[in-house]
Amino acid sequence: MQKIAPCLWFDGNAEDAARFYTSVFSHSRITTTMHYTDAGPGPKGDVLFVTFELEGQEFMALNGGPQYSFTPAISLFVHCASQQEVDGYWAKLLDGGAPMQCGWLQDRFGVSWQIVPDALPKMLRDPDAAKASRVMQAMMKMVKLDIALLEQAYRGG
């Protein structure tokens, strides 16, 4: 068990969200589903929370009610080794959601994700400021990130 695990607050659809996320990531599973009992505060038998793992990272999905909603101030960052990975996660997580700028999207549950190729931070950290600047400018014009276009900007083309 990891020391710190994110808890995501949902309004009655925590189990649906956990099932969706575990369908997106291949090394994932639901580990626990806890239901309300006679003690409440929700109706007996309804899902209180679900714990699940995505690629070895533990999460909790809590049916907390309508008091809070997600914002892009917190996002889940997905490292991608290839454009194929970027495209795959983008398509799956975007289903029912909304695209945002610079590799960000909001899924159907309102959770924000950053779908980022591993090559991007390497290019942005390049000691050649002109290369890094061109990559940043290219990225700022993108919605879904495109490695070939980022590399083209990096090379100065």
C-beta of residue 53 within 8 angstroms of C-beta of residue 31: yes
For residues 114 and 127, membership in a common domain is answered with yes
For residues 60 and 128, membership in a common domain is answered with no
For residues 75 and 145, membership in a common domain is answered with yes
pLDDT at position 55:
96
The per-residue pLDDT of the chain, averaged, comes to 96
Give the CATH number for residue 10: 3.30.720.100
Mean pLDDT across 36-46: 89
Give the CATH number for residue 85: 3.10.180.10
Of 35, 51, 68, the last residue of a domain is 68
Six-digit token string for 51 = 């714990």
What CA–CA distances, in Å, run from 58 to 18, 26, 53?
11, 14, 4
For residues 49 and 93, membership in a common domain is answered with no
For residues 153 and 77, membership in a common domain is answered with yes
Q: What percent of the chain has pLDDT over 90?
A: 94
What is the distance between the alpha carbons of residues 118 and 122, in angstroms, rounded to a whole number?
7
Which of 39-53, 86-100, 131-145 is predicted with the least confidence, judged by mean pLDDT? 39-53
**pLDDT confidence band for 62 (50 / 70 / 90):** very high
Closest CA to 132 of 155, 148, 109: 155
Of 32, 50, 68, the last residue of a domain is 68
pLDDT at position 157:
76
What CA–CA distances, in Å, run from 79 to 27, 30, 68, 115, 127?
14, 21, 28, 7, 22
The pLDDT tens digits of the residues spanning 78-127 come to 999 999 999 999 999 999 999 999 999 999 999 999 999 999 999 999 99
For residues 37 and 100, membership in a common domain is answered with no
Domain with 100 in it: 70-157
- CA angle at residue 144 from 141 to 147, to 5 degrees? 85
Long-range contacts of 132-139 (CB under 8 A, 24+ apart): 139/102, 139/103
For residues 81 and 64, membership in a common domain is answered with no
Mean pLDDT across 129-153: 98
The pLDDT tens digits of the residues spanning 12-35 come to 999 999 999 999 999 999 999 999
Number of domains in the chain: 2
pLDDT at position 41:
85
**pLDDT confidence band for 42 (50 / 70 / 90):** confident
For residues 86 and 146, membership in a common domain is answered with yes
For residues 20 and 80, membership in a common domain is answered with no
Of 49, 68, 87, the last residue of a domain is 68
